[in-house]
């Protein structure tokens, strides 16, 4: 029996994978940086456009069995595909200076592979596809992190990232295997049904262990404490655009995976996962912020800040899982808050990394924070964008996007009657501001030497401008993001 | 057939893998331990196929995919380990620093 | 102009003069003098006009502001005593303004000085006419600040700033009570209008509390024990200011307010008893302190303290009208004495009596004026002071109860002491051999200074006869001000004894200070029983120490907690960062151990459910 | 329309000024501030000149604007002005204007005057927005706007220890505002609306007593940090000491008022029941602030620090007034706010002028100012006297009637508080006179030997404050007349305490 | 106890025993060889559990490719052939966590399955598995091909620092 495949639904994934292959071919045929980059950028753009088109149409499902469908092209998936494609596009532009010393063709190819994984991830509705997609998103990044091949830091970062990732994958896989063993299903729908209907499973502690193992393994992806220690080393070792990708697209992937698994597949067991998620959220934001206070290197600081941000992202879900009345309404609120915060965060993080790239000469690494002293005088616009991104991450005006992001989270926490978690988030925001403001103040500090003004490549400027513009737009019209987040069918 | 036998075998293998990952300094040995863990996962999947009533061969499919993933990761991982060795002349994982970027020159104080 | 508008104009005229004066550049002396004198003269004219036209008490008011259910009205409540006091204020203020033109002839900060005197006058007039306690408080406090400014005016005296601060702070301490008293009355009555306050019934406790609280303010302003300490120090101000403060304004305000709110005080016995005791102590204290002073102005200052206590005594024995009578006569003769003392100081160039002597020949006008003033002070018939003091003693003797006895006895003793120190001042200043070069060639002051002195001698001498006019009695709201019976002999005898004693001591050695007979008591009196030092040790130093320790606590504990939180967070960050300064294997351990722990926890929790 | 203009003009011009050249930027900024000030005066025009009286706790804005912004967050762009907010709005626009004028001539050492002007305009947007917001979430957003520009003003143009002070300021006040955020959404979650008008009218119906209590405590802590209330005040002295003159003026003049205004409009307005239960604690702390503030001043040796601590004491009176929850007290708080804004603004201008000239703010090294700079000394004397609450000047009404309100509240606790507050008033006098004695009296110290004359900038920017201090002191109804009705209705015809019983 | 049980028990014991040696031996190369034994034993388990295809893939891919790769890596990093004492780190946490997870999972599994019995399904064929893959799991299969391609390209690019250098 040959199954009919809905190729239209698969279009974004096809385009993403096609981009990867095309990049490889173009690199073989032309071997020019510009050509490869153009193809990659166009491919990413095409993927995004296709995702928009698919998203606007009716929901399409394919690869369906009796247990459920593996691939559903609904609004959520389309939104995520657009995000992955957009992030890849911006990171490609940001990579222009870095590509002077990196193999451009392979670099773009790997990034396109990661994008393929991300796009597929957004549409996947079973554990196998999800894990395979997630691995496809992650594996190219090991290499990209290690791509500064003369740098020990790069190699160390790559090995750290790789080892922790493999271990975490093993943990996730074990959990998934147990879930399959217990329920006989890997589709989210099947899992949910089995977990909800089969009362016997409730009495087996193994089920709880399986649920936790899956989620814990995925928590590695978002760099939640205690699965976070790879992040600073990997971010700092990697070429800066790759760090940007790690902290945005890769983290988005982790969030999506956790959301899908927790909300869609393991919904009946969220009360078991709840305390774990809440504890992870608290630990993550606190440890991330505290360590970030003491950082000397720019990218490491951003890495730790992104650890802390992961805590805020996890908080609504943890709060929901904890709170008393777990109504569907509260869940969709929590999911929307998570997605909305992630979107706000991704935009601002991209802005911050974009500014770092713009302020550093050529393909240099992130450098020390002190190296940025006085850049407000030499590059007022870039510094302005940087400050906007930083205060956005801190959640204060004029970074309205960040402010609304915090508001979204706190609102969902209080709506879920998790006031204490809201207070923890609030206090963490104070600690967070301490280091964001330190960095911002450094930009305005006096220059120690008369530094030569680095020219900002147009691609980087465009990418940074786009990220900043988006941050401003969603800052003044956060409803756009909230509407998009509310489209999610998760938890309904 | 008592499924508990292969299941417990898998659990023990996974435990051994965990022990190895934590115990071994040598990156290659560490990778071997990871293989033990993944192997345990596969054993669970295959056993599940045999033990779950009315299952398709999904577990085996999953197991095949895991093997492929493991192979791909070992390939990439070894390449990275070799690169580290090339730069470092050493593949002891506990010499790979996690976070050395902390401030230590600035005095503690809110300012 | 209708009397409705004239009432508010009374304080308004000098106020406008003050405002304009403050805006003047420092060099414009003439304009400043015109403004100052004009303001005082305007106020005096309005007061005279009103005094002639107003027969019945009347009041006007407009709402200034409303706080919740409590309105604050700006308005005047004018009755006969009001106008008498206003007249006195006007006269003294005018005299002081005129006198100052000459006295401060070589002071480059005359302009602000004149404006401040105008403001002072305006404030006092506001206290006098105000029909609302809050507005009264405005005048009351503005007067305080003006006294502060004027006492601190003299830039050459190192003690001036300190004395100014002391004057304000001590009265301000009393004003805490005054404000609270007003609050008690106002909240009780639902209005701050004097008419409403006086008319609304108070429970005995509340009434007593309110009266005692107000008394604190009165004691501060009218320099009664134990808040009298600022007044002698206030002599650091220019002499005309001393005249102004001690005669018609400031110190009189306290007495006036008690008289105005008399129903509040007389409602229960406690406030009157407190008034009586306060009066007795202050009377003697002031008089005794005056015996040993060498500074001529300090003698007069202590005499003011003592004379004010007479007025308080009158209030204590239920004779507010008599108290106002003494207030008026005292205003006249004390203004005279201060201005005259100013002339003497002007001539000699020093405040100290030990540098004077034999001045009567060179300064006849001053001498005779001073003689009249001192006569009035000691109560020599028929000078003004005689009548008013006599009325007080008579009121005390007519009243029954221990308070009245106390007031009477201390009043009589004080007459003795007063006679003694007044004589001593008279003799030491104008008789005997000159004791300094300046004193050998004294000269009369310029006309602007001499004329006010001479003119003030008139009321000092004659104001007492007003007591014979029925109209005057009605205006003060009393009857039988004059008691020409045998009881007047007691003070007269005592007075004679005092004068003779001083004269006899002086005659033995005209160059020496008669105060020497005080023996070991002399330093005690000179230092006014060391009350200043006691206050310093009991209040000032503890407050300073408290302030220092509060500052320390605030900086090290309250702020320390804040800084500590910051530092602690950073240290915690450092510690947590330290945990991460390790090898890759620790990360792996963290992942797997974390997974294990969370798994165990979930299994345990899952088991519970 | 005018409501939007008051916010839009400074916001737009802040950006424009930042892009212009230095000198022209400052001029344009000052022009914008003038325009804003004039526009803000127009807020007094009422949309509905003769509204029907509405019973109960109604807020009746003179002008109102209500459009949705972010429905997903219950956030509406809801602005309105009434008798409680109008004086504060005008005070803000006035002080901003004066600071801009001052900056026109006097740029702090760090230079870049146009940026300073631009930041002042941004701060103005935040503060005015806070005073105008009638939506809880919008209020929070505006509340936050001020934070970073103020941080920048201190950190860039401040004195020696500016970075530490700026960090302390921003972190401490952020601590307050995040609690505000939690408090706001506690309310929104319980009631389903963020509309201050509706919440006030229903006295926060929908919240349980516990929720009201929790919400009020969160809001109160947030506002207490901003106000600041002892013992949450310690950011203030540092910030003031280090901030540039205009920064101190804005900080003391209007920024602190966001806290007290918030307490009145939001905390007391929306959670009256919680307020009634916490009020005694608030009252005790307010009086502690008065006493501690004034005692610390008595032992203080740095000029700007002393004025800063005096703010703690003065705001203590304001908070005491609010804590009484009565019409008398809240009116006292309102006029206390305005008076403190005028007087302390002036004091900081003066402190700045003295420090610029004498190059020291150490009281032990100053002295004899009236010998070398009589005008400056005279104005300093005026400001100090006004600040110590002399009747007849603006500062008196708030302080005296806070005492009245506390006494009126009755009971042993409030009576004791009234007495203690009055004593604090006496200590206030003591330290201000001590200040004057050290700075203006006595022989001229070497540091004040050569004092340049006052510049036109100084005259122009100080004169309005001096005049207003006097005018408000003589005619308090100017401020309170328009506030009477709103306060009366807010306190449920006189006192919320009666209401909650 | 059926034959299958005996086989499962025996092979499982071999796998675990060899696994223990993998993580404890002092010889790097021997660890690799013991890994072969474990993997082989597991393949045997798969066979018993009627998963021939998986078993053969395991033998081919794992034993054949992965282990060889690992041994190459051992040699390329110049690991000593004999006993080396610096292979391990002090390991209380390792022992605790390893034993905890192994025994803990074991306990959970024992608790879950007790001594339940199931009939082994009919011997599966590669054909059935193929059908399954190409009917239901085409998508992950294809994504996996992208993954493999990425791994291939990545491994090369990392191993050859000269590729893509600025020429």
Tens-place pLDDT, residues C446-464: 878 888 888 888 888 888 8
HEC sequence for E62-116: HHHHHHHHHHHHHHHCCCCCCECCCCECCCHHHHHHHHHHHHHHHHHHHHHHCCC
Residues E117-127: pLDDT tens digits?
Answer: 877 776 666 77
Q: Which helix (DSSP H) or strand (DSSP E) does residue C48 occupy?
A: helix C29-53
Residue C237: name the closest of C161, C141, C299 by CA. Answer: C161
Across the interface, whether the CB atoms of B99 and C589 are under 8 A apart is answered no
Parallel, antiparallel or unpaired: strands C58-67 and C70-78: antiparallel
Q: Which residues pair with A124 in a beta bridge?
A: A71
Q: Which residues pair with D68 in a beta bridge?
A: D76
Q: What is the mean pLDDT of chain A?
A: 86
Q: How high is the pLDDT of residue E167?
A: 44
**What is the rounded average pLDDT of the residues A115-120?**
94
Q: What distance in Å separates the CA atoms of residue C57 and residue C52, rounded to the nearest whole number?
A: 13
From the list A139, A160, A230, the residue facing B73 with the nearest CB is A139
Assign 3-state DSSP to chain D and report helix, strand, coil percentages, each to 5: 75, 5, 20
Bigger pLDDT: B53 vs D333: D333
Q: How high is the pLDDT of residue B111?
A: 34
Q: How high is the pLDDT of residue D133?
A: 92
Q: What distance in Å separates the CA atoms of residue C143 and residue C248, rounded to the nearest whole number?
A: 12
Q: What distance in Å separates the CA atoms of residue D182 and residue C73, rounded to the nearest whole number?
A: 45
From the list B95, B99, B108, the residue facing C581 with the nearest CB is B99
The answer to whether C82 and C128 are in contact (CB under 8 A) is yes
Residue in chain C closest to A435 (alpha carbons) equals: C570
The answer to whether A16 and A51 are in contact (CB under 8 A) is no
Q: At what angle do helices D113-132 and D2-19 cross, to 10 degrees?
A: 160
Which residues in chain D touch residue C109, judged by CB atoms under 8 angstroms apart? 374
**Chain centroid to CA D343:** 11
Q: How high is the pLDDT of residue D126?
A: 92
Q: What is the mean pLDDT of chain E?
A: 83
Interface-testing mutation among A339, A389, A405, A422, with chain D (most D C-beta atoms within 10 A): A422
**Chain centroid to CA B87:** 24
Which residues in chain E touch residue C595, judged by CB atoms under 8 angstroms apart? 101
pLDDT band at residue C540 under the 50/70/90 scheme: confident
Q: How high is the pLDDT of residue D122?
A: 92
Across A104-108, B61-65, C505-509, least confident range: C505-509
Q: Residue D80 corresponds to which tokens in the numbers above? A: 């309105």
Residue C68: name the closest of D408, A264, A232 by CA. Answer: D408
The number of residues making up chain B comes to 111
Across the interface, whether the CB atoms of C571 and B110 are under 8 A apart is answered no
Q: Is A454 exposed, middle or buried (0-12, 13-18, 19+ CB in 10 A)?
A: middle
Q: What distance in Å separates the CA atoms of residue C14 and residue B61, rounded to the nearest whole number?
A: 104
CA-CA-CA-CA torsion sign (C213, C219, C224, C227): positive
For tokens 């005791």, what's the residue? C277
Across the interface, whether the CB atoms of B97 and C566 are under 8 A apart is answered no
- Touch D-E: 3+ C-beta pairs under 8 A: no
Phi, psi dihedral angles at C150 (to 5 degrees): -75, -35
Q: Residue D440 corresponds to which tokens in the numbers above? A: 């203006």
Q: Residue D49 corresponds to which tokens in the numbers above? A: 């000149």
Across the interface, whether the CB atoms of E108 and C603 are under 8 A apart is answered yes
Residue in chain E closest to A206 (alpha carbons) equals: E108
Which residues in chain E show pLDDT less than 70?
1, 79-83, 85-87, 122-125, 164-167
Q: What distance in Å separates the CA atoms of residue A425 and residue C194, rounded to the nearest whole number?
A: 58
Across B35-39, C9-13, D54-58, least confident range: D54-58
Q: Residue C232 corresponds to which tokens in the numbers above? A: 């002698």
Residue D280: name the closest of D332, D322, D334, D318 by CA. Answer: D322
Residues 6+ away with beta carbon under 8 Å from E21: E30, E31, E34
Phi, psi dihedral angles at A62 (to 5 degrees): -150, 175
Residue A192 pLDDT exceeds 90: no
Q: How high is the pLDDT of residue A484?
A: 83
Other CB atoms within 10 Å distance of the CB of residue D252: 29
Q: At what angle do helices B58-88 and E138-159 cross, to 10 degrees?
A: 10
The number of residues making up chain A comes to 492
- Residue-range domain boundaries for chain B: 4-90
Which residues in chain C touch residue D442, judged by CB atoms under 8 angstroms apart? 158, 161
Q: How high is the pLDDT of residue D430?
A: 87
Across the interface, whether the CB atoms of E97 and C603 are under 8 A apart is answered no
Across the interface, whether the CB atoms of A139 and B84 are under 8 A apart is answered no
Residues C119-133: pLDDT tens digits?
Answer: 888 998 898 888 888
**What is the rounded average pLDDT of the residues A461-477?**
91
D touches which chains (3+ CB pairs under 8 A)?
A, B, C
Interface-testing mutation among E16, E48, E147, E154, with chain B (most B C-beta atoms within 10 A): E16
Q: How high is the pLDDT of residue E119?
A: 76
Residues D462-472: pLDDT tens digits?
Answer: 889 999 999 99
Distances in Å between the Cα of C471 and the Cα atoms of C461, C477, C481, D343 are 19, 10, 12, 49
Residue C606 pLDDT exceeds 70: no
Q: Give the SS3 label for residue A73.
A: strand
Across A181-190, A269-278, C70-79, least confident range: A269-278
ipTM surpassing 0.95, yes or no?
A: no
Residue B85: name the closest of A426, A155, C187 by CA. Answer: A155
Across the interface, whether the CB atoms of D70 and A482 are under 8 A apart is answered yes
Q: What is the mean pLDDT of chain D?
A: 87
| Structural domains for chain E | 3-122 (1.20.120.1200)
Residues C297-310: pLDDT tens digits?
Answer: 888 888 888 888 88
Residue C2 pLDDT exceeds 80: no
Residues A296-330: pLDDT tens digits?
Answer: 888 889 999 999 999 999 888 888 777 655 677 77
Assess A156–E contact: CB distance below 8 Å, yes or no: no
Other CB atoms within 10 Å distance of the CB of residue A314: 29
Residues A355-380: pLDDT tens digits?
Answer: 998 888 777 787 888 888 888 888 88
pLDDT band at residue A491 under the 50/70/90 scheme: low
B touches which chains (3+ CB pairs under 8 A)?
A, C, D, E
Residues D437-488: pLDDT tens digits?
Answer: 888 887 777 877 777 788 888 888 888 999 999 999 888 888 888 888 888 8
Q: At what angle do helices C160-189 and D411-439 cross, to 10 degrees?
A: 160
Q: Which fold has domain B4-90?
A: Helix Hairpins (1.10.287)
Q: What is the mean pLDDT of chain C?
A: 84
Residues B57-100: pLDDT tens digits?
Answer: 888 889 999 999 999 998 999 998 888 888 877 777 777 776 66
The number of residues making up chain C comes to 609
pTM for the whole structure: 0.90
Residue D288 pLDDT exceeds 90: yes
Assess C561–B contact: CB distance below 8 Å, yes or no: no
Q: Is C162 exposed, middle or buried (0-12, 13-18, 19+ CB in 10 A)?
A: middle
Residue in chain A closest to E165 (alpha carbons) equals: A101
Which residues in chain A touch residue C602, judged by CB atoms under 8 angstroms apart? 208-209, 211-212, 272-273, 275-276
Q: What is the dihedral of CA D261, D30, A398, D130, to 10 degrees?
A: 10
Assess C108–B contact: CB distance below 8 Å, yes or no: no
Q: Residue D294 corresponds to which tokens in the numbers above? A: 């004034």
Residue A79 pLDDT exceeds 80: yes
CA-CA-CA-CA torsion sign (A454, A455, A460, A462): positive
From the list B6, B35, B92, the residue facing E35 with the nearest CB is B35
% of residues, chain A, pLDDT over 70: 96
Residue A175 pLDDT exceeds 80: yes
Q: Give the SS3 label for residue A63.
A: strand
Residue A359: name the closest of A455, A458, A476, A251 by CA. Answer: A455
Residue C426 pLDDT exceeds 60: yes
Across A474-478, B87-91, C310-314, C429-433, least confident range: B87-91
Residue in chain E closest to C586 (alpha carbons) equals: E93
HSE at residue D393, side-chain half, CA atoms within 13 A, is 22
Q: Residue B69 corresponds to which tokens in the numbers above? A: 């993933």
From the list A20, A110, A206, the residue facing E154 with the nearest CB is A110
pLDDT band at residue D500 under the 50/70/90 scheme: very low
Assess B110–D contact: CB distance below 8 Å, yes or no: yes
Q: What distance in Å separates the CA atoms of residue A54 and residue C149, rounded to the nearest whole number?
A: 84
DSSP, res C71:
E
């Amino acid at each position: 029996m040959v199954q009919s495949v809905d190729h239209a639904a698969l279009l974004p994934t096809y385009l993403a994978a096609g981009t990867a292959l095309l990049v490889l071919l173009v690199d073989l045929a032309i071997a020019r940086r510009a050509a490869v980059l153009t193809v990659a950028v166009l491919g990413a753009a095409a993927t995004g456009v296709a995702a928009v088109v698919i998203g606007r149409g009716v929901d399409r499902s394919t690869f369906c069995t009796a247990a459920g469908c593996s691939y559903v092209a609904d609004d959520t998936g389309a939104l995520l595909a657009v995000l992955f494609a957009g992030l890849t596009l911006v990171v490609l532009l940001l990579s222009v200076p870095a590509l002077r010393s990196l193999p451009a063709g392979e670099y773009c190819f790997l990034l396109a592979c990661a994008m393929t994984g991300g796009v597929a991830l957004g549409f996947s509705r079973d554990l196998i596809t999800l894990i395979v997609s997630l691995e496809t998103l992650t594996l190219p990044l090991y290499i990209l992190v290690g791509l500064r091949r003369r740098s020990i830091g790069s190699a160390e970062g790559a090995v750290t990232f790789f080892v922790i990732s493999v271990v975490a994958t093993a943990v996730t896989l074990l959990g998934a295997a147990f879930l399959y063993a217990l329920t006989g299903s890997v589709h989210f729908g099947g899992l949910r049904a089995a977990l909800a209907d089969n009362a016997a499973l409730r009495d087996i502690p193994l089920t709880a262990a399986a649920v936790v193992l899956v989620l814990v393994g995925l928590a590695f992806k978002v760099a939640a404490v205690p699965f976070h220690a790879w992040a600073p080393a990997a971010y700092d070792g990697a070429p800066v655009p790759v760090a940007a990708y790690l902290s945005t697209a890769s983290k988005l992937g982790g969030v999506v995976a956790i959301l899908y698994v927790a909300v869609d597949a393991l919904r009946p067991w969220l009360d078991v996962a709840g305390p774990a998620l809440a504890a992870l959220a608290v630990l993550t934001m606190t440890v991330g912020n505290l360590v970030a206070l003491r950082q000397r290197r720019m990218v490491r600081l951003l890495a730790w800040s992104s650890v802390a941000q992961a805590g805020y992202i996890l908080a609504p879900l943890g709060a929901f899982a904890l709170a008393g009345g777990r109504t569907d309404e509260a869940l969709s609120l929590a999911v929307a808050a998570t997605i909305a915060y992630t979107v706000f965060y991704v935009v601002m993080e991209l802005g911050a990394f974009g500014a770092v790239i713009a302020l550093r000469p050529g393909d240099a690494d992130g450098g020390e924070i002190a190296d940025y002293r006085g850049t407000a005088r030499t590059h007022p616009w870039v510094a302005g964008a940087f400050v906007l991104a930083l205060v956005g991450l801190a959640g204060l005006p004029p970074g309205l996007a960040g402010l609304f992001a915090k508001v979204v989270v706190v609102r969902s926490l209080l709506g879920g009657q998790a006031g204490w978690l809201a207070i923890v988030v609030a206090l963490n925001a104070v600690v967070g501001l301490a280091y964001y403001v330190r960095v911002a103040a450094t930009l305005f500090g006096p220059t120690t030497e008369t530094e030569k003004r680095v020219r900002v490549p147009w691609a980087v400027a465009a990418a940074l401008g786009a990220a900043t513009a988006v941050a401003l737009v969603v800052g003044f019209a956060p409803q756009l993001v909230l509407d998009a987040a509310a489209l999610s069918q998760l938890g309904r | 057939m008592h499924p508990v036998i292969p299941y417990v075998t898998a659990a023990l293998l996974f435990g051994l893998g965990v022990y190895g990952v934590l115990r071994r300094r040598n990156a290659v040995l560490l990778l071997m331990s990871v293989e033990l863990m993944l192997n345990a996962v596969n054993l669970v999947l295959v056993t599940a196929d045999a033990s779950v009533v009315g299952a398709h061969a999904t577990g085996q499919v999953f197991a095949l995919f895991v093997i492929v993933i493991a192979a791909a990761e070992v390939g990439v991982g070894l390449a990275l380990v070799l690169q580290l060795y090339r730069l470092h002349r050493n593949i002891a994982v506990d010499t790979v620093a996690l976070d050395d970027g902390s401030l230590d020159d600035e005095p503690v104080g809110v300012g | 102009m209708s009397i409705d508008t004239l009432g508010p104009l009374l304080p308004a005229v000098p106020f406008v003069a003050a405002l304009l004066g403050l805006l003047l550049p420092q060099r414009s002396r003439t304009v400043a003098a015109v403004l100052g004198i004009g303001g005082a003269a305007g106020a005096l004219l309005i007061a005279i006009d009103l005094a002639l036209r107003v027969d019945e008490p009347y009041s006007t008011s407009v709402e200034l502001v409303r706080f919740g259910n409590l309105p604050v009205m700006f308005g005047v409540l004018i009755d006969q005593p009001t106008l008498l006091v206003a007249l006195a204020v006007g006269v003294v203020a005018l005299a002081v303004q005129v006198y100052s033109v000459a006295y401060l002839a070589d002071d480059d900060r005359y302009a602000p000085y004149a404006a401040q005197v105008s403001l002072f006058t305006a404030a006092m007039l506001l206290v006098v006419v105000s029909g609302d306690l809050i507005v009264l408080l405005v005048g009351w406090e503005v007067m305080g600040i003006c006294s502060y400014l004027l006492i601190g005016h003299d830039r050459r005296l190192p003690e001036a700033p300190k004395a100014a601060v002391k004057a304000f702070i001590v009265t301000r301490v009393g004003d805490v009570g005054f404000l609270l008293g007003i609050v008690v009355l106002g909240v009780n009555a639902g209005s701050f209008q004097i008419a409403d306050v006086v008319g609304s019934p108070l429970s005995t406790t509340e009434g007593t509390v309110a009266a005692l609280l107000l008394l604190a303010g009165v004691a501060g302003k009218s320099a009664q024990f134990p808040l009298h300490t600022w007044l002698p120090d206030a002599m650091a101000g220019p002499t005309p200011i001393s005249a102004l403060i001690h005669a018609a304004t400031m110190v009189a305000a306290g007495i006036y307010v008690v008289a105005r709110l008399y129903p509040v005080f007389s409602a229960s016995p406690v406030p009157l008893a407190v008034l009586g005791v306060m009066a007795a102590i202050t009377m003697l204290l002031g008089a005794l302190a005056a015996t040993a002073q060498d500074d001529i102005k300090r003698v007069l200052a202590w005499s003011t303290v003592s004379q004010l206590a007479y007025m308080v005594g009158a209030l204590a024995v239920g004779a507010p009208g008599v108290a106002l009578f003494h207030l008026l006569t005292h205003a006249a003769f004390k203004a005279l004495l201060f201005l005259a003392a100013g002339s003497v100081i002007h001539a000699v160039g020093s405040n100290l009596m030990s540098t004077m002597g034999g001045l009567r020949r060179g300064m006849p006008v001053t001498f005779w004026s001073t003689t009249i003033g001192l006569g009035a002070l000691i109560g020599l018939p028929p000078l003004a002071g005689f009548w008013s003091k006599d009325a007080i003693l008579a009121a005390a003797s007519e009243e029954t109860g221990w308070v009245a006895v106390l007031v009477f006895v201390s009043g009589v003793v004080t007459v003795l002491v007063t006679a003694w120190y007044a004589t001593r001042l008279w003799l030491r200043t104008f008789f005997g051999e000159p004791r300094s070069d300046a004193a050998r060639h004294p000269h009369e002051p310029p006309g602007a200074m001499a004329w006010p002195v001479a003119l003030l001698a008139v009321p000092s001498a004659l104001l007492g006869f007003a007591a014979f006019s029925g109209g005057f009695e009605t205006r003060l709201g009393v009857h039988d001000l004059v008691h020409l019976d045998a009881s007047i002999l007691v003070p007269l005898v005592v007075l004679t004894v005092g004068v003779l004693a001083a004269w006899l001591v002086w005659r033995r050695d005209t160059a020496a200070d008669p105060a020497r007979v005080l023996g070991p008591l002399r330093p005690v009196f000179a230092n006014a029983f060391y009350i200043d030092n006691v206050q310093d040790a009991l209040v000032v130093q503890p407050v300073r120490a408290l302030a220092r320790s509060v500052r320390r606590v605030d900086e090290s504990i309250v702020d320390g907690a804040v800084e500590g939180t910051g530092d602690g967070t950073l240290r915690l960050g450092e510690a947590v960062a330290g945990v991460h300064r390790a090898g890759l294997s620790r990360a792996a351990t963290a992942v797997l151990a974390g997974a294990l722990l969370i798994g165990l926890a979930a299994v345990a929790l899952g088991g519970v459910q | 329309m005018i409501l939007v203009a008051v916010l839009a003009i400074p916001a737009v011009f802040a950006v424009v000024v930042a892009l212009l050249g230095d000198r022209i930027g400052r001029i344009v900024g000052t022009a914008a501030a003038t325009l804003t000030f004039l526009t803000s005066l127009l807020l007094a025009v009422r949309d509905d000149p003769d509204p029907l009286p509405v019973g109960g706790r109604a807020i009746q804005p003179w002008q109102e604007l209500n459009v949705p912004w972010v429905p997903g967050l219950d956030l509406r762009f809801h602005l309105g002005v009434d008798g409680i907010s109008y004086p504060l709005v005008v005070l803000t626009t006035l002080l901003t204007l004066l600071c801009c004028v001052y900056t026109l001539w006097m740029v702090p050492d760090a230079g870049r005057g146009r940026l300073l002007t631009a930041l002042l305009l941004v701060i103005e947007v935040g503060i005015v927005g806070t005073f105008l917001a009638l939506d809880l979430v919008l209020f929070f957003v505006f509340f936050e706007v001020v934070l970073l520009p103020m941080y920048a003003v201190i950190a860039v143009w401040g004195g020696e220890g500016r970075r530490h002070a700026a960090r302390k300021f921003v972190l401490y006040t952020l601590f307050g505002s995040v609690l505000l955020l939690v408090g706001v959404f506690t309310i929104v979650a319980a009631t389903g609306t963020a509309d201050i008008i509706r919440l006030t009218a229903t006295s926060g119906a929908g919240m349980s007593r516990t929720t009201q209590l929790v919400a009020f405590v969160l809001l109160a802590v947030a506002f207490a940090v901003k106000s600041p209330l002892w013992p949450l005040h310690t950011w203030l002295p540092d910030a003031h000491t280090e901030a540039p003159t205009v920064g101190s003026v804005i900080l003391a003049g209007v920024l602190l008022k966001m806290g007290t205004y918030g307490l009145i409009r939001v905390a007391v307005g929306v959670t009256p029941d919680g307020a009634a239960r916490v009020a005694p604690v608030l009252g005790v702390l307010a009086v502690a602030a008065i006493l501690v503030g004034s005692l610390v001043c008595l032992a203080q040796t740095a000029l700007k620090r002393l004025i800063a601590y005096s703010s703690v004491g003065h705001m203590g009176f304001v908070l005491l007034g609010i804590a009484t929850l009565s019409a008398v007290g809240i009116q006292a708080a309102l006029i206390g706010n305005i008076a403190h804004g005028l007087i302390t603004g002036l004091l900081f201008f003066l402190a700045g002028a003295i420090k610029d000239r004498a190059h020291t703010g150490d009281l032990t090294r100053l002295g004899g100012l009236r010998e070398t700079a009589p005008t400056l000394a005279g104005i300093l004397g005026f400001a100090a006297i006004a600040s110590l609450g002399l009747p007849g000047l603006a500062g008196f009404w708030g302080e005296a009637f806070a005492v009245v309100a506390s006494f009126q509240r009755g009971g042993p606790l409030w009576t004791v508080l009234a007495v203690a507050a009055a004593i604090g008033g006496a200590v206030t006098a003591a330290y201000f006179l001590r200040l004057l004695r050290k700075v203006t009296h006595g022989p001229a110290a070497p540091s004040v030997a050569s004092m340049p004359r006052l510049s036109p900038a100084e005259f122009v920017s100080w004169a309005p404050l001096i005049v207003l201090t006097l005018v408000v002191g003589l005619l308090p109804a100017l401020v309170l007349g328009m506030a009477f009705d709103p306060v009366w209705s807010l306190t449920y015809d006189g006192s919320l305490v009666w209401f909650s019983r | 106890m059926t034959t299958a049980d005996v086989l499962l028990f025996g092979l499982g014991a071999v796998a675990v025993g060899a696994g223990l040696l993998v993580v404890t031996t002092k010889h790097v190369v021997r660890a690799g060889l013991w890994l072969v034994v474990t993997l082989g034993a597991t393949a045997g388990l798969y066979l018993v559990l009627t998963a021939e295809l998986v078993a053969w893939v395991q033998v081919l891919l794992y034993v054949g490719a992965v282990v060889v790769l690992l041994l190459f890596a051992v040699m390329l990093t110049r690991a000593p052939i004999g006993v080396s004492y610096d292979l391990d780190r002090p390991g209380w946490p390792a022992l605790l966590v390893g034993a905890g997870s192994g025994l803990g999972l074991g306990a959970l599994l024992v608790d879950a399955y007790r001594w339940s019995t199931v009939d082994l399904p009919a011997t599966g064929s590669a054909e059935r598995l193929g059908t399954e893959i190409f009917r239901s799991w085409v998508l992950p299969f294809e994504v996996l091909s992208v993954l493999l391609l990425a791994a291939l390209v990545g491994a090369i690019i990392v191993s050859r620092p000269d590729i893509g250098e600025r020429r």
